[in-house]
Structure 1
């Protein structure tokens, strides 16, 4: 996951950095520094961040000559109906 993919995924979900950090169980500073390209999080943090976005319905599109991207699954959970604490619980299990 790239910083740009992270920002775009949050935009698709209408999540703030705070929402994202809560869903992933990482600090808001971790999210902010990653998205601003100030630092790269530990591999484990990056994995839980990506998992939180995927659980919410984001699909990561690999580099294909046009650059990496993101989109939403058609059958994704209703973002408004799925609480952030439910996402965190799914990521913990």
Structure 2
């Protein structure tokens, strides 16, 4: 699995996030058919995995946590929608 930085293709999303929320850092990645949106503020880190074609797999979630979170054993909260097409990971700083 590879995370590919595709932030430049999502300028409107990044601009909107920076102007309408309290985040100060936004990155968008592609993980095959799964999009990964990483946001960071002074108080928290948020990561959203979204796949319109299928459920987001557990190995994708584990991979993203391992690659994007620098802590050895991070404490995070997972929020999964009913269809498992969207997963949100929230980490307090």
Whether TM exceeds 0.5 here: the answer is no
Higher relative contact order (CA 8 A, sep 6+): 1
The structure carrying a bigger strand percent of its residues is: 2
* TM-score normalised by length of structure 1: 0.31
* TM-score normalised by length of structure 2: 0.31
The structure carrying a bigger helix percent of its residues is: 1
